[in-house]
Amino acid sequence: MRSATEILNAIEARAQRAIVQELRLMKKEVLQLRPALSPEDQDHADALLLKLGRLESDQIVVVTDAGAVEQGFQAVAQAA
């Protein structure tokens, strides 16, 4: 059986190329593991949760007001 550190390191390695849905599943997996971890491994899990959250937010597109975006495009088109 693999150690908790090995499991957390494997999750972290996979996270670098994971899509948002996979990142969310990884976060759930870490949250499920966390209560059974040693204090040191819990710190590692907390750091990993932060990293997974950042990777997830980096991939999410924020929707803005469509009217403002359209006005911006029109201004650029008129300037050209």
- For position 39, what pLDDT does the model report? 95
Q: What tokens appear for 77 in the block? A: 């088109």
Assessment of whether the complete model's pTM goes beyond 0.85 = no
What average pLDDT values come out for the chain (80 residues) when binned by 10 residues?
90 95 96 95 97 93 63 62
Per-residue pLDDT at 27: 97
Per residue in 9-43, is it b (16+ CB within 10 Å) or e — as a string?
A: eebbeebeebeeeebeebbeebeebbeebeeebee
In the chain, where the domains are located: 4-79
Report pLDDT for 28: 97
Task: Determine the Cα–Cα distance for residues 74 and 53; give it in Å rounded to an integer.
Answer: 35
Question: From residue 8, how far is each of 15, 38, 40, 52, 55 by CA, in Å?
Answer: 11, 13, 12, 12, 16
pLDDT digit string, tens, across residues 18-33:
999 999 999 999 999 9
